[in-house]
Amino acid sequence: MFSAEKSFLIDESDIIFNINRNKPWYKKHTKGLLIALVAIVILGIGGILMGVFIPRALQNMSHSNSTTLPTRPTTPSLANSTQQGTTMSLATHATSKATSSPNQTTASSSAHVTTATKPTSATGSTPTSAKLPTSSRVTTSTRLPPTTASTPTKTATPSVQLPTAQATTPKTQATTPKTQATTPKTQATTPMTQATTPKTQATTPKTQATTPMTQATTPKTQATTPMTKATTPMTQATTPMTQATTPKTQATTPMTQATTPKTQATTPATKLPTAKPSTPSSPAANTSTPSSTPISIPFPELASSRLRTSIKPENYKLMLQLHPERNLIVGEVQITVMITQPTDIIIVHAKNITITDTPKIGHYHSGPVPVIEKVGYYAANDYYYIKLQRMQAIGKYFLFYNFASSIQNAPQGIYTQSYFSSDQESNSPSSNLRKIFLSNSYPNNARLIFPCFDEPSFLAKFQLTMFRNATTTSATLFNGRLFDSKVLKDGLVQDRFNESTLISPHNLAIAVLDFEPTLVPVQTNMSNIYIRLWTPPDQSMDGKSTLDTAALMASLYQQEYFKLDYPFMTLDMVAIPNFYRHLQAHTNILFYKADALLYDPLSTPDAELAWKRMLLGSGISYQWLGGSFSMAWWDQYWLQEAMKSHARYYGLTSGWQPAMGINDLIDDLKILEMQSALAMDSSAYTAPLQGQDTTADSWSANNFYLIREKGYALLRTLQAYDNSINIDELIQKFAKNSRNLVTSVSEFWKLLPPEVTTKFDFNQLIQPWLTQPGYPYVNVSSTQSNQSELLLSQSQYIDIYRSNIIGDSVPMSGYSWYVPFTWNSFLAMNFSSKNNLIVLNPDLGNMNSTPIDIGNSILLNANVKLFGFYRVLYPAATWNNYTALIPKLPSNTIAMLSTGLSKLMDDAFAFAKLGRLSYVQTLTMSKSITQQHALFLPWATYKQNMNFIANIVKYFIIDQALYQDYHSRLVKNIMNELTFKNVGDYNKRLTRVVAMDYYCLEDKQCRNYTKEQFLSSLYSDSNTTIPANLKSIIFKYGIADTDEAAWEKVLDMFKSSTVPSDRLLYLEALTYSKNVTLWRRYLDMTLNRTLMSSLEALKAFDFMASRGLLNLQLAWPFVTNNLEALYQRFNFKVTFMEQLLNVTAARYVDKDNLQRVQNFFHRDVAKIIPPSVKDDIIATISSRINWVSLYRETVKNFFAANP
């Protein structure tokens, strides 16, 4: 094909030279010559006119087509990214204002709108223009079978001319003077633009008042081209955008200059006043911070913290391009909305986003064209609003926004996730630093990415087009299925996705990766599921077991548990190094921390394997329990998390042998989860799960794990009211009824069987558990007149050490609950199988008691099977009776009482911390439970509670020695029974791990065994295989009893390992050396970003500081002396610094070191630490000091006196 210029020359030659040459043409064809000359003149003039008007008309057509039409909407195109410093920004139609479509709104000419003028041109800039890259090849996704979905809505991608940065084309700059000479007219328009500016400002006081960020753009040239500046901050940072555009560029893009004044009048960039840029070059860099004065509400509709339900989105067409070098996201979004009540204001959420052009609004029906009166931002609620001149009728409309947002540092919106690959070695931290880009829209962070209706009840379908770098990235993941990938010029790839299913904005997931997938098709008799696992390039071989287990789980959940077809076609699981959470679940996309997802079953301990499979089950079950529906509001989401926590246990059965006792293990793990929930929710600062004032911010500020654990505990509590309630059946029905809907907790209660609801009003019973913080304990007391009668009363349990409460200042809450108090009696050396129930009535108040009759029983077993979410404080005589009776019970009875004894011990330790039960009673009873019986659940409960004491006494050298000696002797009989061989069912295998860890503290036989196994694994040619369950113990105590050469060998194993769990195992074992020089070297290694990831460095400090006083005395000074280097090492993330201080400074237990920590916090170098974190650490140390003053001597004497 010829260019337009070449085609014109051919036509001209036909006119001039295709003439009869037999005779002199000037004699024979005088008339023809005259005609030819006239034609030349006409064509010359026509060519000049076409050169001016045709490009303008084409660009008008391009922009007109880019705006959504009522019958067949199309999405405006996104311009290119940056290649070697050339600035590629959003399509310039947003500032150039083509003639509008008939049904597209135009700007109002009212006095409320700024009158735009022609932008000023400058000299000496680069005359380079760029266009949207054309496709050089199309790569249809071959990772999955060919898509059967319909082609996504066709996206218009007109060739759009864009400005480029001056520094990128030095060769072109040399020709600039010539260009300047050819376009004097363009330059001459500059004074006119400046001259009109005062008049424009004088006529727009209202706009300035309602759009604070517009006030900041005082020069008119800035006001008329804000989008160009907002979308190209790199150019803005070096030279103003108007200076970066040469006269030639302006001449060849008349659309940019000769724009319609009426349309330009509404084009100031709306920069949101709450924006706080992550870097100086972020799009909100010039954003002002709202003043502390009260914000006036321009319109009453903005006062509510919740959007009106009369405007609902139906679908989003989103186009994004990432500019990582500038922390910039450039985008366009078209939202189709249904208006169900007449309105003259449309509100969306937007936060820290620059709206780079006045939005457009159109409708899909006949009627008056919507006319925008003004736009603005209401910071208090993150609202961006469009005020229309008149009420709009009921019907379907479209909204269109151009915007620029920031790539975040923290995990919110779209953010950067860094990791180091191990496929190359270098001393330079940046040589093998890799970056991927992830989204976190949960709970209300979608508004950080693009304007949207960011509330859970607004379900819609989402469609994405992503432009990414072809060199540094390999794939984009999204909730919709990939339609195609096009390799464009300038090193870009365009990924287009089909529409997602109906999802809430918080379920939106975007990932731009440099990973490669492994695909496993799962074929069932219900539907086919294609599961992909995405891993870093150097960990691609670590996911086979994960994929196999995921495939089996998905099939079991679909066919046996939910009995519902999989809601989607694909499931993408992403293993992310250094991810901030173990799991972040979205609709058909799961983000996992790599070391929580990847595993080798032969080298993974049983306890860790169970936990990882539960985590995998949690993500897969989420696809039926949240990926396919949404709760009505944030305070309803505890139910979704609770159902997911309950359903994950079903996935644990996949691939495990029933003969190994997997069902018993599941029961034990459920009890441990209940105990974990009780521990988490015991703080005086805990918050209710549900309430009228609950917002996304307040909900997300609560501990996510607390919400999940407490929600699960409340589901389990339903069975305390009536043990005929089947939680699994309720979950299955709820998932089936809620698919593709917005639902609520009340719908769940409706599924309870009639025979249960006739006995109890569950809406009334459950309300105190949802709307009040914390949980109760039931105080059981005896009467003087009748020994068979016990009195019950309730109070809130508050752990003073979790709440950092000093002395006797425990608050009295006055809260009370409908407590389902269950019990059975001890008769004939066993507990009765008959369970009794009484519901304590909160209306009686905390001080009133309810009597129960236990007959001739000498013991009471309350809260049977720990179904109820409460603790029980027995009379002193009951604790003593348990202590005396337990050693006399036969083993089979003890096994049946495993849950009750575990619960009894957990409550005893909880009340001992409050001073309601003596530590002597608690430790004596615990000894009688654990010493003679190899039962996993009681031992796990014991260790879980003893860790609190161990983390205090280990910082006193004498106390630590007594603690170690006591526990080595405590488990001696158990270890003689279990031996060191990794055999037996799960109960014995897991009990051996707990007991052996205590046994090796001091026992010589155990230490000889670990040393022998350790050295054999390091140096023997026989390839000694250490059982996975015992590997951590053998390496820890093996290093403790060997030399520096062995330490170096383990360090080499750490460096070469790519298995995250193995790396942490080696990292912990290295701290067990007794060589102080090696300790110092270990701490120095934490600064090496190529050696340790951020999470590994944090764990390294935790491992070192937790070893004892001498280790802590090295770790904390290292932190204080290298605080700024560590801050940089952790990528300037304050959350990492908070955790670092909590695993080091917060471990101190004496007043001298408390004073040292306080002094450090007053130094300038500590100003990066938030004051609230400093206060929490000081309070934690103070509460530990308080425990030492009250209980240390008692506990130390008990360890010394008991053989």
Looking at residue 431, its pLDDT comes to 53
Lookup: tokens for 593: 């921390």
| Residue 809 clears pLDDT 90, i.e. is over it | no
Lowest mean pLDDT among 778-787, 1049-1058, 1144-1153: 778-787
At the fourth CATH level, the homologous superfamily of domain 516-624+647-660 is Neutral Protease Domain 2 (1.10.390.10)
Looking at residue 810, its pLDDT comes to 59
Lookup: tokens for 361: 């609004």
- The rounded distance, in Å, linking the Cα atoms of 442 and 638 is 14
| Residue 254 clears pLDDT 50, i.e. is over it | no
Cβ count near 915 (within 10 Å): 13
- The rounded distance, in Å, linking the Cα atoms of 784 and 839 is 24
Confirm whether 516-624+647-660 and 775-933 share one CATH topology: no
> Strand pairing partners for 521?
530
Task: Give the CA count within 13 Å in the CB-facing half-sphere of 615.
Answer: 23
Looking at residue 1057, its pLDDT comes to 87
Structure-model confidence comparison of residues 133 and 856, the more confident one: 856
Instruction: Give the helix, strand, coil percentages of the chain, each rounded to 5.
Output: 45, 15, 35
Backbone angles phi, psi at 117, to 5 degrees: -125, 170
List, in sequence order, every beta strand (DSSP E) within 939-1002: none
Looking at residue 274, its pLDDT comes to 35
The correct CATH number of 1075-1203 out of 3.40.640.10, 3.40.50.720, 1.25.50.20, 1.10.150.110 is: 1.25.50.20
Looking at residue 1068, its pLDDT comes to 97
Task: Please state the rounded mean pLDDT for residues 962-969.
Answer: 96
Per the CB < 8 A criterion, the answer to whether 592 and 603 are in contact is no
Looking at residue 50, its pLDDT comes to 54
Task: Please state the rounded mean pLDDT for residues 1079-1098.
Answer: 93
Looking at residue 1061, its pLDDT comes to 83
High-pLDDT (> 90) share of the chain, %: 50
Per the CB < 8 A criterion, the answer to whether 192 and 118 are in contact is yes
What is residue 162's DSSP assignment? B
Looking at residue 479, its pLDDT comes to 96
Per the CB < 8 A criterion, the answer to whether 372 and 108 are in contact is yes
Per the CB < 8 A criterion, the answer to whether 437 and 329 are in contact is no
Looking at residue 1101, its pLDDT comes to 97
> Strand pairing partners for 438?
415, 511
**Cis? peptide before 443, omega within 30° of 0:** yes
In angstroms, the Cα distances linking 19 to 27, 42, 1028 are 13, 19, 94
Per the CB < 8 A criterion, the answer to whether 995 and 1023 are in contact is no
- The rounded distance, in Å, linking the Cα atoms of 694 and 835 is 38
| Residue 660 clears pLDDT 80, i.e. is over it | no
User: Tens digit of pLDDT for each residue in 1102-1136?
Assistant: 999 999 999 999 999 999 999 999 998 887 888 88
| Residue 13 clears pLDDT 80, i.e. is over it | no
User: Tens digit of pLDDT for each residue in 370-389?
Assistant: 999 999 999 999 999 999 99
Structure-model confidence comparison of residues 470 and 601, the more confident one: 470
Looking at residue 133, its pLDDT comes to 40
High-pLDDT (> 70) share of the chain, %: 70
Looking at residue 177, its pLDDT comes to 35
User: Tens digit of pLDDT for each residue in 299-342?
Assistant: 999 999 999 999 999 999 999 999 999 999 999 999 999 999 99
- Going by C-alpha positions, the residue among 540, 531, 548, 488 that lies closest to residue 513 is 540
Looking at residue 694, its pLDDT comes to 60
Between strands 328-339 and 311-323, the pairing is antiparallel
DSSP string, 1010-1048: HHHHHHHHHH-TT-PPPPHHHHHHHHHHHHHTS-HHHHH
- Going by C-alpha positions, the residue among 518, 527, 516, 524 that lies closest to residue 546 is 518
Per the CB < 8 A criterion, the answer to whether 874 and 860 are in contact is yes
Looking at residue 1020, its pLDDT comes to 76
Looking at residue 663, its pLDDT comes to 87
Per the CB < 8 A criterion, the answer to whether 320 and 466 are in contact is yes
Task: Please state the rounded mean pLDDT for residues 524-530.
Answer: 76
Structure-model confidence comparison of residues 686 and 272, the more confident one: 686
Task: Give the CA count within 13 Å in the CB-facing half-sphere of 915.
Answer: 13
End-to-end CA distance of the chain: 96
Q: Say which CATH class 67-131+156-497 falls into.
A: mainly beta
Lowest mean pLDDT among 102-111, 527-536, 836-845: 102-111
| Residue 64 clears pLDDT 70, i.e. is over it | no
- The rounded distance, in Å, linking the Cα atoms of 1171 and 439 is 29
Looking at residue 440, its pLDDT comes to 96
Looking at residue 19, its pLDDT comes to 29
Structure-model confidence comparison of residues 134 and 726, the more confident one: 726
Looking at residue 267, its pLDDT comes to 36
Per the CB < 8 A criterion, the answer to whether 576 and 436 are in contact is yes
Lowest mean pLDDT among 111-120, 1074-1083, 1190-1199: 111-120
- The rounded distance, in Å, linking the Cα atoms of 506 and 528 is 26
Three-state DSSP class for 360? strand
| Residue 193 clears pLDDT 80, i.e. is over it | no
Contacts of 789 (CB under 8 A, 6+ apart): 782, 783, 851, 852, 853, 854
Structure-model confidence comparison of residues 717 and 49, the more confident one: 717
**H helix intervals, 211-296:** 212-215, 220-224, 226-231, 233-238, 247-252, 254-257, 261-264
- The rounded distance, in Å, linking the Cα atoms of 437 and 510 is 8
Q: State the CATH architecture for 775-933.
A: Sandwich (2.60)
- The rounded distance, in Å, linking the Cα atoms of 243 and 130 is 17
Looking at residue 92, its pLDDT comes to 33
Looking at residue 228, its pLDDT comes to 34
Task: Please state the rounded mean pLDDT for residues 530-536.
Answer: 92
| Residue 298 clears pLDDT 70, i.e. is over it | yes
User: Tens digit of pLDDT for each residue in 723-746?
Assistant: 899 999 999 999 999 999 999 999
- The rounded distance, in Å, linking the Cα atoms of 1134 and 1173 is 10
- As a residue count, the chain comes to 1203
How buried is 367 (Cβ within 10 angstroms: 0-12 exposed, 13-18 middle, 19+ buried)?
exposed
Task: Please state the rounded mean pLDDT for residues 525-548.
Answer: 82
| Residue 1158 clears pLDDT 80, i.e. is over it | yes
Looking at residue 897, its pLDDT comes to 82
Amino acid at 1061: S
Longest dimension (CA), the chain: 144
DSSP string, 409-454: SSSSEEEEEEEE-SSS--SSTTTTEEEEEEEE-TTTTGGGTS-B--
| Residue 506 clears pLDDT 90, i.e. is over it | yes
What is residue 801's DSSP assignment? T
Structure-model confidence comparison of residues 223 and 1043, the more confident one: 1043
Task: Please state the rounded mean pLDDT for residues 218-239.
Answer: 34
CA 749, 753, 756, 757 dihedral sign is: positive
- Going by C-alpha positions, the residue among 915, 914, 924, 910 that lies closest to residue 879 is 924
- The rounded distance, in Å, linking the Cα atoms of 618 and 928 is 37
- Going by C-alpha positions, the residue among 579, 716, 596 that lies closest to residue 645 is 716
Looking at residue 401, its pLDDT comes to 98
Looking at residue 108, its pLDDT comes to 37
Looking at residue 203, its pLDDT comes to 36
User: Tens digit of pLDDT for each residue in 77-91?
Assistant: 333 333 333 333 333
Task: Please state the rounded mean pLDDT for residues 202-229.
Answer: 35
Task: Please state the rounded mean pLDDT for residues 968-996.
Answer: 93
Lookup: tokens for 191: 């004074």
Looking at residue 364, its pLDDT comes to 84
| Residue 149 clears pLDDT 80, i.e. is over it | no
> Model confidence at 854, in pLDDT bands (50, 70, 90)?
confident
Per the CB < 8 A criterion, the answer to whether 315 and 499 are in contact is yes
Three-state DSSP class for 111? coil
> Model confidence at 359, in pLDDT bands (50, 70, 90)?
very high
Backbone angles phi, psi at 1140, to 5 degrees: -60, -45
Mean pLDDT of the chain: 77
Contacts of 1023 (CB under 8 A, 6+ apart): none
DSSP H or E stretch at residue 487: strand 482-488
Looking at residue 257, its pLDDT comes to 33
**Ranked by mean pLDDT, which of 67-81, 309-323, 688-702, 874-888 comes out on top?**
309-323
Looking at residue 752, its pLDDT comes to 94
- The rounded distance, in Å, linking the Cα atoms of 585 and 580 is 13
Looking at residue 670, its pLDDT comes to 95
| Residue 155 clears pLDDT 60, i.e. is over it | no
Contacts of 444 (CB under 8 A, 6+ apart): 349, 454, 455, 505, 506, 634, 696, 697, 700
Per the CB < 8 A criterion, the answer to whether 234 and 87 are in contact is yes
- Rg (C-alpha) for the chain, rounded Å, is 35
Task: Please state the rounded mean pLDDT for residues 878-891.
Answer: 85
Per the CB < 8 A criterion, the answer to whether 503 and 460 are in contact is yes
Structure-model confidence comparison of residues 447 and 62, the more confident one: 447
> Model confidence at 478, in pLDDT bands (50, 70, 90)?
very high
Lowest mean pLDDT among 121-125, 448-452, 1029-1033, 1187-1191: 121-125
Report domain extents, the chain: 4-61, 67-131+156-497, 516-624+647-660, 775-933, 954-1058, 1075-1203
Looking at residue 32, its pLDDT comes to 57
- Annotate 564-596 with b (16+ C-beta within 10 A) or e (fewer): bebbbbbbbbbbbbbbbebbbbbbbbbbbbbbb
- The rounded distance, in Å, linking the Cα atoms of 951 and 960 is 10
Three-state DSSP class for 301? helix
Per the CB < 8 A criterion, the answer to whether 852 and 836 are in contact is yes
| Residue 258 clears pLDDT 60, i.e. is over it | no
